[in-house]
Amino acid sequence: MSNQNPVFIPGPTNIPDRLRLAMQVQTQDHRAPDFVNTLAPVLEGTKKVFGSASGQIITFPASGTGGWEAAVTNTLSPGDTVLVARYGMFSHRWIDLCQRHGLDVRIIECAWGSGAPADQFAKALAADTAHQIRAVLVTHNETATGVRSDISAVRKAMDASDHPAMLFVDCVSSLASMPFAFDDWGVDIAVSGSQKGFMLATGMAILCVSPKALAAIETAKLPRTFFDFKDMMNANASGGFPYTPPLQLIYGMRESLNMLFEEGLDNVYARHTRLAEGVRKATAAWGLDLVAQSPELYSDTVSAIYVPEGFDSNALTDHAFNAYGVSFGVGLGEMNGKAFRIGHLGSLTDVMVLSGLATIEMAMADLNYPIDLGSGVSAAQEYFRSGRTTPMKTA
C-alpha cells in the first residue's frame, strides 16, 4: 500500500489534490499568447500575500536558497558589510552564503531558541556611524528552532539610528502561513519558496523587492547571470522569462493563490495559530519543552520540541517513520539528537494534526518516554473542541 499519511515536516508540505492537478499540465509553448497572459496576475496576487503594494515580485526556478543568492548578488558588492544574527540552522546557512560571496559578515551570536535581537541590532547600527553596514539579514521564522522573530522591532531598531541599511528577510517558512507585512515593516527584500505555505512542489524561489533594493542593483557588483533581477523583470514585463519558465509551478501558483484567497488570508493565519496551539497544548501535556524560549517567539508553522535527557530525537523520528510511516522533522544543527520538530503548516486540519500527535505519542511510548499515552492528543482535542462551530474542510 502506498503511504497515504500526511507529512509533519516543516516543508515541503502536503500538496492538496487541487494543486497537484493544477500542476499536472502538459507542456505548452511558453511563448504562446495564452501563457504570456498567465504570469502578470500571478505576480500581482503574490504581492498581496507579502503585504505589499510597492514591492516588485521576482521569481526564479530555484528553491529558497536560490532566492537568498539572488537577493545578495543583485544588491551587494564584494567586501560589503552585512549584519546578521545567528540563532538557528537557517540564519547560519544564510551567513555561510554571504561569506562564500565575499561579503564582510558581522555576526551576532544568539542562543538557539531565541529570536532576532532587535536591541543588539540597534546597538550595532548606532555604532556604525560611517554606515558601512549595507544590509541587515533576518530569518523571520527559524525553522530549526520553531522561533518567529519580530520584524517590526528590527525595523524600529534600524530607524532609531536613521541607518540607511536595507532589510532582507527570509520568510521561507512563514509566508502564506503567518502574517507578513512587507510594506509596513519596511522590508527591502523578502525571500520565500513554493513548497511551504504555498503548498506546491519545490522549485520556485519567490521574492518581493522594494524600490530601494531595486535601485541598489545599479551599483551592486557581485556576479549574477541566472539570478539577474533585471533580466527577469525585463522578460516578465512582456509575460515571459529570460529562460524556460517552470510552467507547471506557475499554474500551481495561480491555483494556490486562489485557494489562499478563497479561505481568506486572515483565516489561513488563524488556522495556523490554532493548529500550532493544539501542538503546544500537547507538548505541555507530555511535560516536554519547546526550543522556542518564550511565548512571543512561538512559531505557528513549526514546533521544535526537546526530548527528555537521555533520549535521542533521531531515534524517535526514525521509529515514527519505520513503525508508522509518518515523517516528523529531525533536529538540525545544534538541535540534532536533542529535539524533533512537528511541522504544522500548509494544507492541514485539526484532525490531521491530531493524527500526527497520536503517532508521535505512540512512537514515544514505544521508546519508553516518560509520557502518558493519549495525554497530548486529549489536550489538543480539548483545545480543538473549544470554540469550534463549523466543520473544517480539507483542501
Considering Cα of 109, then 110, then 113, then 116, what sign does the dihedral take? Answer: negative
Contacts of 241 (CB under 8 A, 6+ apart): 30, 232, 235
| One of 38, 65, 336, 375 touching ligand PLP (CB under 6 A) | 65
- Does 172 help bind ligand PLP (rule: CB under 6 A)? yes
- Does 178 help bind ligand PLP (rule: CB under 6 A)? no
CB of 10 to ligand PLP, least distance (A): 7
Nearer Cβ to ligand PLP, position 141 or 177? 141
Nearer Cβ to ligand PLP, position 94 or 269? 94
**H helix or E strand, kind and range, residue 100:** helix 89-100
- Does 173 help bind ligand PLP (rule: CB under 6 A)? yes
Q: Which stretch binds ligand PLP (CB under 6 A): 34-42, 135-143, 285-293, 323-331?
A: 135-143
- Does 333 help bind ligand PLP (rule: CB under 6 A)? no
- Does 329 help bind ligand PLP (rule: CB under 6 A)? no
- Does 291 help bind ligand PLP (rule: CB under 6 A)? no
Q: Which of 345, 299, 343 is nearest to 147 (CA)?
A: 299
- For residues 176 and 300, what is the distance between their CA atoms, to the nearest angstrom? 11
Residue window 6-25: x/- pattern of binding to ligand PLP, with contact defined by CB under 6 A: -----x--------------
- Does 143 help bind ligand PLP (rule: CB under 6 A)? yes
- For residues 223 and 230, what is the distance between their CA atoms, to the nearest angstrom? 13
Helices (H) and strands (E) in the chain, counts: 14, 11
CB of 144 to ligand PLP, least distance (A): 8
Q: Which of 251, 196, 181, 185 is nearest to 28 (CA)?
A: 251
Nearer Cβ to ligand PLP, position 143 or 161? 143
- For residues 137 and 281, what is the distance between their CA atoms, to the nearest angstrom? 32
- For residues 61 and 202, what is the distance between their CA atoms, to the nearest angstrom? 9
> Which residues in this chain contact ligand PLP in the complex, by CB under 6 A?
11, 63-65, 90, 139, 141, 143, 170, 172-173, 193
Could you tell me which residues are annotated as the binding site for substrate?
Answer: 341
Could you tell me which residues are annotated as the binding site?
Answer: 341
